[in-house]
């Protein structure tokens, strides 16, 4: 494995599609919920890796708009797991100085999850070392459509000149406004697609796939993704 020297290029923003919880559980003869529980432990390990390797931005695809189609039991489990996770990790967010943000259609989340998120977003707002963004009830096409609606409404009201709208200005209407674009997108679990995740923001991201199921994701895989990133040439369309 190539060495990761301090001078190696590192991603500033890593975004992760955490896939394979259900298959991990099946492999171990467990319920899907046990896979999600183990997935929450992998989230904590990943936060620790970001702290250790000085990666300031981490975005996690924790629940997609499509995930609402899962059984009510699984959805309820995931929402409760989220609340437990936030309660249990509040001290870590403070210790690592991590600011929490959320992107997605939050109106659809159950009230206890919304309240807990709101409370942690507020209490971590001044943290400036790390940035954890949870994509919850998130779908990129929905996010882009919503941004287009805002722009159209402003233009109709005469508050925005359509000719003056450039890419940077449009990005300001996305929920990720203020966040840098991801440099590296990781997808675990063996599938090789983006699944409606950060489609606009991923335009120039390096993408790294691994067969590892999300609950098994740990420092060796994180490190391997960083090593691979360090050896890719990012040309952003140039030569």
Provide the edge-to-edge strand list for the sheet that holds 57-64.
98-103, 130-138, 57-64, 13-17, 184-187, 206-209
Please name every residue paired with 30 in a beta bridge, in sequence order, or none if there are none: none
**Residue number with CB closer to ligand FPP (135 or 202):** 135
Nearest to 123 by CA among 157, 98, 156: 98
**Taking CB under 6 A as the rule, does residue 15 contact ligand FPP?**
no
Q: What is the 3-state secondary structure (H, E, C) of 130-143?
A: EEEEEEEEECHHHH
67 is a catalytic site residue: yes
Catalytic residue among 51, 67, 127, 227: 67
User: Which one of 37-45, 111-119, 120-128, 156-164 is the stretch in contact with ligand FPP (CB under 6 A)?
Assistant: 37-45
**Taking CB under 6 A as the rule, does residue 189 contact ligand FPP?**
yes
Instruction: Tell me the C-alpha distance between 80 and 215, whole Å.
Output: 18
Q: Report whether 34 contacts 28 (CB < 8 A).
A: yes
**Taking CB under 6 A as the rule, does residue 85 contact ligand FPP?**
yes
Which of 4, 30, 34, 81 lies at the binding interface for ligand FPP (CB under 6 A)?
A: 81
**Taking CB under 6 A as the rule, does residue 130 contact ligand FPP?**
no
**Taking CB under 6 A as the rule, does residue 18 contact ligand FPP?**
yes
Instruction: Tell me the C-alpha distance between 40 and 63, whole Å.
Output: 13
Which positions touch ligand FPP (CB under 6 A)? Answer: 18-23, 36, 39-40, 43, 60, 62, 67, 81-82, 85, 134, 189, 214
What is the set of active-site residues? 19, 67
């Amino acid at each position: 494995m190539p060495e990761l020297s301090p001078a190696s290029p590192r991603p500033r923003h890593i975004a992760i599609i955490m896939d394979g919880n259900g298959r991990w559980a099946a492999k171990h003869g467990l319920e899907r919920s046990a896979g999600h529980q183990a997935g929450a432990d992998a989230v904590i390990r990943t936060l620790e890796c970001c702290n250790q390797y000085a990666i300031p931005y981490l975005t996690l695809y924790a629940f997609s708009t499509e995930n609402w189609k899962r059984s009510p039991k699984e959805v309820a489990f995931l929402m409760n797991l989220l609340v437990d996770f936030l309660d249990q990790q509040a001290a870590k967010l403070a210790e690592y100085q991590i600011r929490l943000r959320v992107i997605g259609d939050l109106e659809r989340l159950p009230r206890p999850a919304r309240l807990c998120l709101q409370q942690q977003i507020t209490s971590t707002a001044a943290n400036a070392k790390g940035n954890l963004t949870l994509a919850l009830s998130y779908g990129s096409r929905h996010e882009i459509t919503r941004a287009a609606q805002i722009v159209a409404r402003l233009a109709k009201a005469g508050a925005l000149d359509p000719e003056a709208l450039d890419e940077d200005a449009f990005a300001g209407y996305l929920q990720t406004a203020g966040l840098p674009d991801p440099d590296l997108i990781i997808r675990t679990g063996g599938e090789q697609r983006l699944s409606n995740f950060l489609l606009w923001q991923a335009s120039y991201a390096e993408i790294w796939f691994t067969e590892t199921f999300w609950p098994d994701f740990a420092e060796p895989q994180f490190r391997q993704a960083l090593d691979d990133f360090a050896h890719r040439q990012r040309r952003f369309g140039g030569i």
